[in-house]
């Protein structure tokens, strides 16, 4: 009996299986080939490192989202509000500051070693991303035996001097009693001050690109709504893509992981473009707004002296406040991508290095001046650590935009900061005189 010829369905399924098999084989070959190519170039694929880059890209866009009323009910966006002493803050940070003050005042931190990190967004990320690195490095010092290291942040994105000084003065006044303070700054003091100058805003005033969002008067609300919607669309899309990729383990594949990073970098460029157009709109309406500060005629060299003096005097002020409270203080000059010669940049870092030309130019031209002024701060009794070249021999990718970094680079930065801080701590480290000590003294009178 003759064999029955295969049915059309079976033939179709067979062909489909062949196509699927060939597709899977091609993807596997492409994956292995891409991983091999990366390895040959000394950039072996790491899913963990890719997860960090994806998280960093999405976080940067969402944390900087401007709001018409300075805030939003959505906790993910944590709206900005006017602060009477610092200029601008977030609702979440204000709540956290009060909660930490209560922990100091009730004695919860009496047996701990509390390090407060102040500065801008790089400092905030140091206290967040590298908190465990800071704690581990501190715990190795025998002077801290029996005292659990605690890292708190007084840092906020876009802050610059004199906001660091006023922020710490405010926190001391509401009850913060740290055992040490580290101030990490430098980039904002140049980039954001020169951004102010370019828009006729006094360089000592808060960064107007953020300050104007909560302090400016509005006239073209319709145009503003359109731009905020565009920014919101890119930020939300980036966050959703990052969440799906991280939850689904997409970075286990080098091809899929790189695709997600590429999409996020595209979203970051569109988000930055819309943010710049939004900022230009808001700033352009404020020709007579008193929030721009007093009139100043200075430009070029004279403006630079104002900017440098603000940074220098802020450091001296913070050092003085800490000295009067017997709090060890360390001022750190942070590294930044556009500081020439400070790091051998990878292709990924070069691709994500775009930022306003004013920012890049201010760093390239004037970061050497900050280094020189930092050395002079020692004459005023300020412990200063120049870590602007901490990545000079670091060849891995660590920057995920023009000034922020993460991963192994952040760990290295944290460990170097602790090494410098340990030189500042006294040989005999006193325990904090907290509420329990005060109660005992009062009862013994």
Question: Would you list the DSSP string of 204-236?
Answer: TSPPHHHHHHHH---S-HHHHHHHHHHHHHHHH
Q: Is it the case that residue 297 has pLDDT exceeding 60?
A: yes
Question: Which domains, and CATH codes, for the chain?
Answer: 46-78+221-285 (no CATH), 79-217+295-426 (3.40.50.1110)
257 phi and psi angles, rounded to 5 deg: -60, -45
Residue 175 is inside which H or E element, if any?
Answer: none
SS3 397: coil
Kindly state the average pLDDT of the residues 127-144: 96
Most confident of 18-27, 263-272, 373-382: 373-382
For residue 20, the cross-strand partners are none
Distance, in Å, from the CA atom of 117 to the CA atom of 329, rounded to the nearest integer, reads 10
pLDDT score, position 7? 63
pLDDT score, position 364? 95
Residue 329 is inside which H or E element, if any?
Answer: strand 329-333
Distances in Å between the Cα of 12 and the Cα atoms of 4, 8, 289 are 16, 6, 72
Q: Are 425 and 105 in contact (CB under 8 A)?
A: no
Distance, in Å, from the CA atom of 337 to the CA atom of 324, rounded to the nearest integer, reads 36
Confidence of residue 443 (pLDDT cuts 50, 70, 90): very low
Kindly state the average pLDDT of the residues 38-57: 78
Distance, in Å, from the CA atom of 345 to the CA atom of 349, rounded to the nearest integer, reads 6
Q: 243: closest CA among 45, 51, 92?
A: 51
Please, which contacts does 72-81 make with residues 24 or more away whose CB atoms are closer than 8 Å?
76/239, 80/210, 80/213, 80/214, 81/214
372 vs 3, higher pLDDT: 372
First to last CA, the chain: 115
Sign of CA dihedral 217, 219, 223, 229: positive
299 vs 191, higher pLDDT: 191
* CB atoms inside a 10 Å sphere around CB 411: 18
pLDDT score, position 285? 58
pLDDT digits (tens, 9 = 90+) for 392-407: 999 999 998 899 999 9
* CB atoms inside a 10 Å sphere around CB 76: 11
Q: Within its chain, how far is the Cα of 58 from the centroid?
A: 13
Distance, in Å, from the CA atom of 172 to the CA atom of 290, rounded to the nearest integer, reads 29
Most confident of 4-18, 97-111, 291-305: 97-111
Distance, in Å, from the CA atom of 348 to the CA atom of 405, rounded to the nearest integer, reads 12
342 vs 76, higher pLDDT: 342
442 vs 239, higher pLDDT: 239
Question: Strand (E) positions, 144-203?
Answer: 148-153, 180-185
Q: 192: closest CA among 201, 183, 184?
A: 201
pLDDT digits (tens, 9 = 90+) for 194-236: 988 888 888 999 998 777 767 665 556 677 777 778 888 888 8
pLDDT score, position 284? 64
Q: Are 80 and 70 in contact (CB under 8 A)?
A: yes
Tell me what percent of the chain is helix, strand and coil, each rounded to the nearest 5.
60, 10, 30
Question: Strand (E) positions, 39-179?
Answer: 80-83, 87-90, 112-119, 148-153
């Amino acid at each position: 009996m003759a064999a029955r010829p295969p049915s059309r369905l079976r033939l179709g399924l067979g062909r489909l299986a062949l196509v699927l098999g060939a597709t899977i084989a091609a993807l596997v070959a492409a994956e292995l080939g891409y991983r091999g190519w990366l390895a040959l170039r000394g950039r072996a694929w790491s899913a963990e490192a890719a997860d960090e880059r994806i998280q960093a890209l999405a976080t940067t866009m969402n944390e900087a989202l401007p709001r018409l009323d300075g805030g939003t009910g959505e906790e993910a966006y944590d709206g900005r509000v006017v602060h009477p002493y610092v200029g601008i803050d977030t609702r979440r940070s204000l709540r956290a500051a009060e909660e930490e003050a209560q922990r100091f005042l009730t004695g919860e931190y009496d047996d701990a070693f509390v390090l407060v990190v102040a500065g801008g967004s790089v400092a905030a990320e140091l206290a967040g991303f590298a908190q465990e690195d800071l704690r581990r490095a501190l715990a190795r010092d025998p002077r801290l035996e029996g005292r659990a290291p605690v890292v708190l942040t007084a840092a906020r994105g876009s802050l610059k001097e004199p906001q660091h000084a006023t922020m710490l003065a405010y926190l001391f006044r509401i009850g913060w009693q740290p055992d040490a303070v580290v101030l990490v700054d430098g980039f904002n003091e140049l980039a954001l001050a020169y951004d102010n100058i370019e828009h006729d805003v006094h360089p000592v005033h808060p960064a107007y690109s953020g300050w104007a969002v909560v302090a400016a008067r509005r006239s073209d609300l319709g145009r503003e709504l359109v731009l905020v919607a565009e920014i919101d669309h890119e930020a939300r899309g980036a966050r959703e893509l990052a969440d799906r990729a991280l939850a689904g383990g997409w970075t286990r594949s080098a091809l899929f992981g790189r695709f997600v990073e590429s999409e996020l970098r595209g979203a970051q460029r569109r988000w930055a473009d819309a943010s710049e157009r939004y900022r230009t709109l808001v700033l352009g309406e404020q020709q007579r707004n008193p929030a721009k500060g007093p009139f100043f005629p200075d430009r070029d060299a004279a403006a630079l002296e104002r900017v440098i003096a603000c940074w220098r005097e802020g450091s001296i002020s913070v050092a003085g406040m800490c000295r009067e409270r017997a709090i060890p203080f360390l001022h750190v000059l942070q590294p930044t991508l556009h500081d020439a010669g400070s790091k051998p940049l990878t292709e990924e870092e070069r691709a994500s290095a775009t930022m306003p030309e004013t920012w890049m130019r201010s760093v390239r031209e004037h970061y050497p001046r900050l280094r020189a002024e930092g050395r002079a701060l020692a004459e005023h009794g300020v412990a200063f650590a120049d870590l602007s070249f901490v990545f000079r021999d670091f060849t891995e990718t660590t920057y995920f935009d023009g000034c922020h970094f993460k991963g192994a680079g952040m760990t290295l930065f944290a460990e170097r900061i602790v090494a410098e801080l340990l030189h500042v701590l006294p040989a005999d480290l006193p325990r904090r005189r907290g509420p329990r000590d005060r109660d005992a003294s009062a009862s013994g009178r």
